[in-house]
Structure 1
Amino acid sequence: MQVLILILAGSVLTFLSFPNWNFDFLAWICLVPIFLATHNLPFKKSFFVGWSSGTLSFIAILYWIVPTFKAAGLNPIFGLLTLSLLASYIGLYYAFYFALTGHFLKNLSEFRSLLFCSTLWISLEQIRNYCLTGFPWGLLGYSQWQKPSFIQIAEFTGVYGVSFLIVFFNALIFLWIKNKRIGYFSALFFLSLFSTNFFILSLKKNSIPKNTKHFSVVLLQGNIDQYKKWDSAFINEILNTYKNLTESASQNSQLMIWPETSAPGWIPNDAWLMERLKQIISPTKTFHLIGAVTNQNKNYNSAFLFNPKGEILARVDKSHLVPFGEFVPMHDFLEKWIKVLNQLGGFDTGKETNLLKLGEFPLGISICYEAIFPNLIRQQTLKGAEVLINITNDGWYLRTAALPQHFSMNIFRAIENRRTLIRCANTGISGVIKPSGVISKKSEPNKQEILEDVVDLSSQITFYTRVGDLFAWLCNFASLLTIFIYKKNRCSTH
């Protein structure tokens, strides 16, 4: 019964750390109950306790999968099945983590225990970022998205550095409860790392880049119902919505941004739609970035840059597709039961490193789900992007916690690369995020809205942009080295 209570406590604390609840301070203690539950258990029982905790946590965090399937007209049972399988899969990372820490914490010194707990967690988060096309949703560091002063270390470590600090503190609290004391060196190590965030933020506030370039943008949040988007009866309604938004917006902007798949049809394939877009764009006398689908022998989810005359200048295609939303994994097996959730069928993968040039301004363009993958955005910055733009639909998610969960990860992309990040979403959340991670503009979800801002551009290359997930790889090395040394010492004593 005590173990069950600890499992539930850990799961609830983890769930409440993330949107919509946003009790982010709970992340700093959410693992303590599971450490307490597993530290005296054998490997197999620790594995099961860890799996149970992780699975329950992510059933709660990802609950929005069920209403998404239901709203798509699919049997809710498939939504429940998908949610259960995905949460169970993420639960395996928790299972291996607590099985290993439960075993090794009994045999390591305090500081080595703390380092092993933290580095092993990062190793598993990084694996989750890449394994099976990757699903880094709900990484522990993302819980701190509303605390810019806590997450500046991401410029050097990515989101993994924030997760490292959270896990280190959780393990510190656990060892304090278990041993009734904490070594000064362990406490000093944590305080030194944590205070680095404030030092970095202070430096950024006091350093004023010379000759900073700016440009003005308008974000058009159309708030089009997801299941009106591809119904031909609503084409004129959708186009009139964006026409009205463009007419209401400032006419002095250098770029108007529409959300992902905001044009209700295939472009440039549909000549009538192209003419209607030209009629909307031309009076604004500015450039437009418009999300739309296209068929170029293959189907792509794309972003088109239009000049002020309504002519297409360039296009980029989405390169990291959403499982079940844009393609069905294990297609030959699963397609018998599950179709893609959108009404247009599956899409093909575009080329990576999507850059567009607006005059002298190189723009890094990501579409929807792509912004949750740090390396993809980092590659755009390395190739010269001076501002980052994410267009997304998010109408899939209705009024669920998926909206702020998805938005929150963009804050880390801004800090990691020290770029302004502009996000334009169909149903929200749209916003402008400064290179410091501070949100300068933010829309309300599920309403039509226009956001206008003048944003800074930068050509600075951060440590994270240059070396990527070096910190995570060092954590991989450190955790494997700890296991190797421990096993070697065990063998030598027997």
Structure 2
Amino acid sequence: MLYRVVNSPYILPFSATLTGLLLWLGWPTKPLAFFLFIGFVPLLYMEKAIVESGKHKSPGYTFFKWAYLAMLLWNAFTTWWVSHSTLPGGIAAVVFNSALMSIPLMAFYFTRKYLGNTIGYISFIVYWIAFEQFHLNWDLTWPWLTLGNGFATLNTWVQWYEYTGFLGGSVWVLLVNVLIFLVIRNYPQQRVELKKLWLPLALIVVPIVISFAILATYEEKGTPTEVVVVQPNIDPYQEKFSGHENFISYEQQQQRLISLSEQKITPKTKFVVWPETALSQDGGYWEEQLKQYRSITELENFVQSHPNIELVTGISTYTFYGDNGDASPTVRHLEGFGYYDSFNTAMHINRRGEIDIYHKSKLVPGVEKLPYPHIFKFLGPLAIDLGGTVGSQGSQDTRDVFYHSLDSTFSAAPVICYESIYGEYVSEYVKNGANLIFVITNDGWWSDSPGYKQHLQYATLRAIETRRSIARSANTGISGFINQKGEITDRSEWWVQDVLSQTLLANTELTFYTRHGEYIGHSSLWLALLVFTGAVGSAIINRKKQKPTVKVATRA
């Protein structure tokens, strides 16, 4: 059966489809991460078949066409739920991200062609990791399908992320795929020697054994801290904003948050955490006059009515720049008013009546951020509308930490929604002093889909990488707590009102990964540049050798 498949005229579409399906099967929240170790094998086999068959007039284009299909299927099967918030945006994300993923695959094809098999297959790993690193840091960033995220549901396999970060998981996946492919690459011309599979199998088993050994010996560290997280369950499509069909007044929304919080607050509670954009109002909250709003005064009174608590909440805010049109790349202008910026903000109200704010800075492309706003600012009105914002929101350069005013031993990273899928980014809060991580989010945009479940699971990887306990407050779910081992110790249900309380340990020690960041990714970028330069140089030399020489006839 397998022999007939390999020799079928449909081997190329079959291989592309199989790669897409295997990578989807291995993705959270299904506990089937093993499929990731073979997901790229059909694609590598396909590339070899295209090159060696001699049947294709343009083998490079043929490989691109089927490789793109493989990436398109993986993206579509895994992230289709983005279309719940915006159908055009969901389609664009799948189509564009698949095209981006094809770039390192084509670089691998080019490199193997001119530098041979050894460097070629090494470059497959290097280019993909370099792509993942680049995709973490540019304005069209969308790292949801970073391969290392694939172990989020089975994070007991990757406790060593505290040393490598999630890109270490990506290297693991790619290396095993290449080694398995090298064993079977000459089938059916040669029989597969199963004994040669011992190396890739060992490479799967040994890191898992190491991970379980780390898990068995790791002891959580830090000072006990009681935290309350609130899940108000306000429908972002129908109830959240004025003008919605079943709009709940902003006063009632705030009262719901307070009432739910009261159910779990004790004299030992240090922090109460509310979700992303929990506080909204028509006309917005202007940061220059936050203390003048009656709703903020009510929250200050709420904080003071309990002996130890401080509040961390999401809020939509604005900053006024007057006539300064160059105040920021994302500045907006209102005729007759002036220039201003809009922010997705985390606000901290402490016991001294002081207010700290942090602006979300990893913004969703097209939804919260217009890519490269200093260049494409004129396209702002075309940005996707999600949650009442159009165009680019503002951001900040630093990862601010919220310290408890009565005891600075307790400090929290205010991680807002999408930011929680960035390993090095989250670790910057920890380097700045955070010994707890608070993830505030509103995943209701994605409806009841794999999106919010994957988002929760990804947070467990941040706990392992930094060895920080996490409190997660989500508007419609899933809220909960994650310990330093990445174990979800308590969680709410989806789309219900809830409030949870737990004592977390505020750890102050820094992991190797926290200290050094994405060293794997940064190294891969430079190595990819070096290898690709070598491939280009080899291609130029090869073409010069093939260039025919013109002989000039001479008279005898």
TM-score in terms of structure 2 length: 0.78
Letter in 2 for 1:407: L
Please, which of 324, 334, 344 is the counterpart of residue 301 of structure 1? 344
The answer to whether the Cα contact below 8 Å between 2:107 and 2:532 also exists between their aligned partners in 1 is: no
**2:484 is aligned with 1:435:** yes
Letter in 1 for 2:161: A
Aligned to 2:460: 411
Matched residues in 1 for 2:195 and 2:427: separation?
Answer: 37
Matched residues in 1 for 2:167 and 2:303: separation?
Answer: 42
Q: CA separation of 1:218/1:92 partners in 2, compared to 1, >3 Å: closer, same or farther?
A: same
Percentage of identical aligned residues: 23
**2:461 is aligned with 1:444:** no
Q: Secondary structure at the match of 2:136?
A: helix
User: What is the CA-CA distance between 1:312 and the residue it aligns to?
Assistant: 4.1
User: Which moves more between the two structures, 161-170 or 145-154?
Assistant: 145-154
Letter in 1 for 2:35: L
Q: CA separation of 1:462/1:190 partners in 2, compared to 1, >3 Å: closer, same or farther?
A: farther
User: What is the CA-CA distance between 1:195 and the residue it aligns to?
Assistant: 2.1
Aligned to 1:354: 400
Please, which of 162, 166, 175 is the counterpart of residue 168 of structure 1? 175
**2:13 is aligned with 1:9:** no
Matched residues in 1 for 2:113 and 2:381: separation?
Answer: 49
Please, which of 303, 316, 326 is the counterpart of residue 358 of structure 2? 316
The answer to whether the Cα contact below 8 Å between 1:259 and 1:391 also exists between their aligned partners in 2 is: yes
Letter in 2 for 1:372: I
User: What is the CA-CA distance between 1:325 and the residue it aligns to?
Assistant: 2.9
User: What is the CA-CA distance between 1:84 and the residue it aligns to?
Assistant: 3.3
Aligned to 1:262: 278
Q: CA separation of 1:269/1:4 partners in 2, compared to 1, >3 Å: closer, same or farther?
A: farther
User: Which moves more between the two structures, 181-190 or 135-144?
Assistant: 181-190
Aligned to 2:69: 52
Letter in 1 for 2:77: A
User: What is the CA-CA distance between 1:183 and the residue it aligns to?
Assistant: 10
Matched residues in 1 for 2:100 and 2:181: separation?
Answer: 20
Matched residues in 2 for 1:102 and 1:388: separation?
Answer: 42
Matched residues in 2 for 1:385 and 1:92: separation?
Answer: 37
Q: Secondary structure at the match of 1:293?
A: strand
Please, which of 365, 375, 380 is the counterpart of residue 429 of structure 2? 380
Aligned to 2:553: none
Structure having the higher Rg: 2
User: Which moves more between the two structures, 8-17 or 272-281?
Assistant: 272-281
Aligned to 2:78: 61
Q: Secondary structure at the match of 1:378?
A: helix
**2:199 is aligned with 1:199:** no
CA deviation digits over 1:352-409, x for unaligned, max 9?
2121101222222211111222222121111121112111112222222210222222
* Counterparts of residues 52-201 of structure 1 (less than 5 Å): 52-69=69-86, 79-80=87-88, 82-102=89-109, 104=111, 115-179=122-186, 180=191, 187-188=198-199, 191=202, 195-201=206-212
Matched residues in 1 for 2:114 and 2:202: separation?
Answer: 25
Letter in 1 for 2:295: L
Aligned to 2:37: 28
Aligned to 1:466: 515
The answer to whether the Cα contact below 8 Å between 1:269 and 1:295 also exists between their aligned partners in 2 is: no
User: What is the CA-CA distance between 1:332 and the residue it aligns to?
Assistant: 4.1
Q: Secondary structure at the match of 2:185?
A: helix
The answer to whether the Cα contact below 8 Å between 1:114 and 1:172 also exists between their aligned partners in 2 is: no
Matched residues in 1 for 2:344 and 2:450: separation?
Answer: 24
User: What is the CA-CA distance between 1:139 and the residue it aligns to?
Assistant: 1.0
Aligned to 1:243: 258
Q: Secondary structure at the match of 1:130?
A: coil
CA deviation digits over 1:320-360, x for unaligned, max 9?
22233323446545344445322255532134212110122
User: What is the CA-CA distance between 1:110 and the residue it aligns to?
Assistant: 7.5
Q: CA separation of 1:105/1:396 partners in 2, compared to 1, >3 Å: closer, same or farther?
A: same
Letter in 2 for 1:289: V
Matched residues in 2 for 1:182 and 1:415: separation?
Answer: 38
TM-score in terms of structure 1 length: 0.87
User: What is the CA-CA distance between 1:486 and the residue it aligns to?
Assistant: 6.2
Letter in 1 for 2:347: F
Runs of at least 5 residues in structure 1 that lack an aligned partner in the other structure? 70-78
Please, what is the CA RMSD of the aligned residues?
Answer: 3.1
Aligned to 1:253: 269
The answer to whether the Cα contact below 8 Å between 1:222 and 1:241 also exists between their aligned partners in 2 is: yes
**2:248 is aligned with 1:225:** no
Aligned to 1:288: 311
User: What is the CA-CA distance between 1:163 and the residue it aligns to?
Assistant: 1.0
Q: CA separation of 1:292/1:336 partners in 2, compared to 1, >3 Å: closer, same or farther?
A: closer
Matched residues in 2 for 1:287 and 1:423: separation?
Answer: 16
Runs of at least 5 residues in structure 2 that lack an aligned partner in the other structure? 1-9, 51-58, 321-340, 546-556
The answer to whether the Cα contact below 8 Å between 1:141 and 1:159 also exists between their aligned partners in 2 is: yes
